[in-house]
Structure 1
Amino acid sequence: MKVAYYPGCVAKGACKELDLSVRLVLERLGIGVTELDTASCCGAGVMNEVKPKLNHVLNARTFSMAEKLNLDLMTICSTCYGRFKSSNQYIKQNLDAINKEIKKIKTSYNGNVKVKHFVEVLNDYGLDELNKKVKKPLRTLKPAVVYGCHLLRPHAVENNIMENVCKSLHSKPINFESKGRCCGFPILMTNRKTSLKLAGKVLTDAIDNGANCLVVSCPLCHMNYDSLQPEVEKVLGRKIKLPVLHLSQLIGLALGLTMEELGMDKHIVDCDKVYHLVHL
């Protein structure tokens, strides 16, 4: 099994530990990776509002890279996933017009690439197979899994797919209302206080329902829930201190990787209690 890997901007910048953890997990599982290291930003919904045609052309260029490798495109970012899924749908419906544009940069796209999130690649790999690789069962962990916006809207992944991955690692994912809520990141620059309140709603809902960690599918969500959690606490007037992990880091713990190997020591919210719970 092999994928064309698109890390996204944040995982190559502010949250490099997420890129690191994904690579380590895929290596342990024997899933081959070819990074699309000259691909453009997906547009993140911002470019599409201003210059939609340019956004689709740039994404077609990225898809053409994966198509030439005869591989599906995998991203670890739900924002990239949502943007790529929508863009790919549009491009396939307008192939002639898009190819006319990308012909100028000496490439073409036939519409054969499937866009997948990391969690879907794991599902394709097989959760029974993943379970066989577990070295440290996560029986003491009660993760609150957060889908956020773009794994559910407008293109939804398989129902309960993240919870099923967590269960294959022997953890006990909680059921909580906020798992499909927005993290607030899209409005962080225009309305910071409301953005932090949105993040706080998810974090406190997770704690109030018994979670001892939050598991995300998106580096942008990770930033709002982890990096800005001290600010969230000030806005809410409540201590939270809930460790935040990308799904790849949770899997990495179950595969026997250390906190340092997974970059969890780089997080703002201390992850020591999660690591100690795993190693009880």
Structure 2
Amino acid sequence: MAPQDLLIALRDQNPLVHCMTNYVAMNIAANVVLAAGASPAMVHASEEIAEFTPICGALTINIGTLSAPWLASMLAAADIAHARNIPWVLDPVAHFISDYRKRAAQDLLALRPAIVRGNASEILALAGQVGAGKGADSGDSVDAAHASAHALAAEFGTVVAITGPVDFVTDGTQEARVSGGSSLMPQITALGCSQTALMGAYGATGPAFDAALAGLAHFKVAGTAAAKLAKGPGSFQMHFLDALAATQPDDFAQVIA
């Protein structure tokens, strides 16, 4: 399916997305998924995973504010998703900052996410390379992580999306770049984390490569539109949500190369 077709399907189907994300991202992630046309649920208690994950169209896992109870729930949910062919997305936020977080990211990666989304430093480190990341912020260019993205895609059978000024996505064979957006986007806390949740929504409606590409394109289109109206980061967030809802399928062609 073409990415623009997935936006039509997303709004027609309104898929339920199991968003296991961090404390900072919960509100913006839920609002982004809703504005795009899907239905988010922020469920993380281990006692609910076995019943809830199987009824969802997709699962997204973001390790931004990791803890032992949350990690146990994430691993359980990813295991269920893998076993039942439910598409799931991994966001290995700053996984290189501690041994605990590194192990968590690798354990989750072993459960074969359909999509891995991260910045260049996160993707480099996930592939065993040395990057220049500082916390959740990337210190490396998207271009520098292309080879690592291809290697991860080939080894784990996943789609890898690297976000930055010009996004890059590959499944190890095909690849695409997505341009646009706004310099204000990095100034909105957890906006990148919310993109992971949106990719999950798209993953519920079509193939992983097209879903990742659609999630990237939707963000770039909305970011470009919001920047024309915003006076700063605060008003940008408001206009961005409006722009997500207003984006039309044909708009994707403006940003995908």
The structure whose Rg is larger is 1
Select the structure that is richer in strand.
2
TM-score using structure 1 length? 0.32
